[in-house]
Chain A
C-alpha cells in the first residue's frame, strides 16, 4: 500500500543506521529532516492545488471559468504565480519594525507546518500520533495569532494594525467554542490521540451520526471558518474595509507565506473536522477506499464547503462577530457538552 511506503522507508533507514552502527542522534536527526522535507514538499504541492481549486470553484460559482491560459484548464497557473511571487522584490516600509516584519510570516507558516505533523492521513501515514494530539494542534495553531498580530503591528500601518487587532480578538474568542465542540468527541473516546479517535469511530459510528456529534460538527465548522479567517469571518483581512488587513504591507515571498498559511490552515481545519466527526480514514469499510483516499475525500469535501461559503456569503461586522461567538456559539457548545454527558451516562446506566 502506498501509504505504508513512507513508514516502511523510515523503518528501513533506522535499520540501516543500526546495521552501519551510526550514532543514534545522527540517524534520527537525518530521519526527521527527511520527514520534514517530505511534509514540506507535500504542503507546498497541496497549496498549489488548493489555490488552483479555489480559483476554479470561485470561477464556476461566479459564472466564469477561472484560470484557463497556463496549461490545460489553467492547471499550471498557480505554478506560474509561485514563480512570479518568488521573483518579486521584497518591500519593507521605511518605518516598519524590520525584524518583526521579517519573522511574523514565518511564525504563521511554522504554526501551520507543526500542525501538519500530526494529521492522520492514514492508519500509518502520520508523522507522529501524539497522545495529546488534539491539544497539540490547538497549542501550535494558537501560535498563528501571534504571527498575525506581530505582522499587523510591525508594518506600522494603521490598517494593518486594525487587521491584526481584529485577528487577535476573533481567533482567541473562536478558539473557545472550537475546543469545546471537539471536547464532545473526546468525552466519547476518552483519548486525545487522533488515531484512537478514528479507531473509535471505526468500531462504533462516525460522530456526525450522533446528536451531540452533529451539533458539535456544525459548531466546529462555524468556529473553524472563523479560526482560519475565511468569509463570512474574514474580518482581519477584509479587503473592502481594511484594504488588506494585516498583510497590507507585505509583498513577494513574505506575502506568499501568509497566503499559503491561509490555505493550509483551511486544509488543517478540514482535516481535523474529517478526523473527529467524519471518521478520518474510515469509509464504510469499503476496502478499496480504505485509508488515505477516504481521508482526502472527506477533507476536500469540507474544503469545498468552506470555499462555497466564501463565495456566497457577505462578511459579518466585528461587533456581531463577537456577539455571535460569545453569546450564541459558546452557550450552545456548553449545552452540547452537557447533552453528551447525559447521553454517555445514560448509556452506562442502561448497559
Chain B
C-alpha cells in the first residue's frame, strides 16, 4: 500500500532565535529532512550604498561601521584603504600599527560573538556568558580609544582618531594573556565535547571547488582548505612584518569552520602581542584636505574581516562624493551557497550550518 505524502513548508525566521537577526529561510521539509531551503534576505536593508552617493568621502566612514557591526573596524579599513591610496596619503607608521592592533581586537570580539551564539545554536547556553565576559573587555579597550562600544568610527582618512591613552598597551597585553587562557578553557568546555563534535562533523560540507566557485571568503574558505588570507597575501597596514599562521581546514564541514575561528582568535592574540611590541612613536594622522575629492575612475580596496573579504568598490566622477559605492559584504557572499548546503540535512543542521557560516545580517542586507 502506498500512502500519499506531502512535504511541509516551514517558514524559518525572520523571527527565529537561530537566524542571527532577520534572515528568513523558506524550508520545504519531509519529516525532519530538508528538501529545499530558500534564504530570503532584505529585512535589514538600509540603503547604505545609496547613502554614500549623497555623502562626502570623509563623512561616509561612519556609515560603514553599521554594515558588519560585530566587526566594525575592518569595514572602515576596506573603505579607507583605496581612498588613502588615491589621495596619496603617507599614513604614519604608528597609525598603521594602531589600526592593526584594534582590528585584531575587533576580530577577536567578533569571533567571540560567534563562539557564544554558535554554542546557543547547538543547545549549549553557557559558552555565550563566558564569551561575552571576554568580549566586554575588548569593548572596554576600544571604548577607551573611540568613545564607542560597538560602532567605533575610529579610523580616519590618513590615520586614526586619537592616540592610545596612557597604559592602554599594558591593558591590551594583559587582555591577550587572559584571552589565551580562556581559549584553552573554551576548548575544554565546548570544542572537545563529544556531542558537539558529533553534531558538526561532516555536516554542511563545502568542497574546495565549491568554496572558490561560490565566493566563500575568510574563515569559511580556509575551512575548505584554501590557504588564502589577505593579511598574508596582500598585506595592508602593519601586517607585513608580523609573524602569524593562517589556519586551514581539511573537510570544509561545520566543525572545521568552527575550529578556524577558534584558531584565528589565538593567531590574533599573537598579532596583537607583536604589534604592541613593535609599536613605533610618532604622529597618528597626516593632514588631508577638508574636502576630499578623488580623481575620476574606479577603485577597489579589500581587507580581511572576521567574516571574510570586506571590499569597497568606489566609482568616482571627480566630485566630493562617490558616484557609486559598492560594498562587498562577506556575509552576503557566504550566504549564497546556503541553498546548496541545506539540501538533505536535518532541521537541527540548518541551525548548525547558518551558525557556522557566521553571517551578520547587517552585513548581508546593508
Contacts and interface: CB of A to CB of B under 8 A. Distances in A.
Interface of B is mostly: helix
Interface stretch (B37-45, B116-124, B164-172): B116-124
B126 interface: yes
Contacts, number: 82
Contact of A232 (B133, B195, B346): B195
Interface string A317-331: 111100000000000
Given A158-B10, A162-B32, A312 B126 contact: yes
A231 B126 CA distance: 12
A320 B200 CA distance: 12
B104 interface: no
Given A232-B195, A239-B17, A315 B32 contact: no
A243 interface: yes
B133 A314 contact: no
Contacts of B346: 317-319
Nearest to B18: A240
Interface in A299-317: 311-317
Given A313-B195, A316-B195, A64 B122 contact: no
B32 A240 contact: no
A238 interface: yes
B5 interface: no
A240 B17 contact: yes
B27 to A, nearest CB: 10
Nearest to B123: A315
Interface string A59-89: 0011110000000000000000000000000
A234 interface: yes
Interface stretch (B46-54, B263-271, B279-287, B347-355): B347-355
Contacts of A234: 123
A312 B123 CA distance: 9
B123 A231 contact: yes
Interface in A138-195: 158-159, 162, 166
B130 interface: yes
Contacts of B350: 241
Contact of B130 (A63, A235, A241, A319): A63
Interface string B91-127: 0000000000000000000000000000111111110
Nearest to B8: A158
A232 B18 CA distance: 18
Contacts of B133: 63
Contacts of B190: 314
A314 B196 contact: yes
Interface in B148-200: 189-190, 193, 195-196, 198-199
Interface residues of B, number: 31
B193 A313 contact: yes
A242 interface: yes
Contact of B348 (A63, A159, A232, A318): A318
Interface string B231-243: 0000000000000
Interface string A226-248: 00000110110011111100000
A270 B195 CA distance: 23
B56 to A, nearest CB: 43
A317 B349 contact: yes
Interface string B192-214: 01011011000000000000000
A240 B130 contact: no
Contacts of A239: 17
Contacts of B32: 162, 166, 318-319
Nearest to A159: B10
Given A63-B129, A314-B199, A316-B195, A162 B347 contact: yes
Contacts of A238: 123, 348
B129 A241 contact: no
Interface in B1-43: 8, 10-11, 16-18, 32
Contacts of A166: 32
B350 to A, nearest CB: 8
Interface in B29-85: 32
A238 B123 CA distance: 7
Contact of A314 (B16, B119, B349): B119
A61 B17 contact: no
A231 B195 CA distance: 11
A241 B347 contact: yes
B168 to A, nearest CB: 25
Most A Cβ at <10 Å: residue of B11, B129, B130, B350:
B129
Given A62-B129, A162-B32, A243-B17, A314 B122 contact: yes
A243 B124 contact: no
Contacts of A63: 129-130, 133
A240 B126 contact: no
A311 B126 contact: yes
Given A63-B133, A240-B18, A317-B346, A232 B123 contact: yes
B124 A314 contact: yes
Contacts of B189: 312
Nearest to A161: B8
A241 B348 contact: yes
Contacts of B193: 313-314
A158 B9 CA distance: 9
A232 B122 CA distance: 10
A241 B18 contact: yes
A240 B122 CA distance: 7
Contacts of B351: 240-241
Interface centre among A158, A234, A241, A313 (most CB of B within 10 A): A241
B218 to A, nearest CB: 24
B58 to A, nearest CB: 42
Contacts of B198: 316-317, 320
A314 B195 contact: yes
A313 B127 CA distance: 10
Nearest to A231: B123
A319 B348 CA distance: 10
A232 B11 CA distance: 26
B347 A240 contact: no
Interface of A: 58, 61-64, 158-159, 162, 166, 231-232, 234-235, 238-243, 311-320
Give the 3 A-B residue pairs with the shortest CB-CB distance, closest first.
A315-B123, A62-B129, A314-B122
Given A232-B123, A313-B193, A317-B198, 5 more contacts: A158-B8, A162-B32, A232-B195, A240-B17, A240-B18
12 contacts: A62-B126, A63-B130, A241-B347, A243-B16, A243-B17, A312-B124, A314-B119, A314-B196, A314-B199, A315-B195, A316-B195, A317-B348
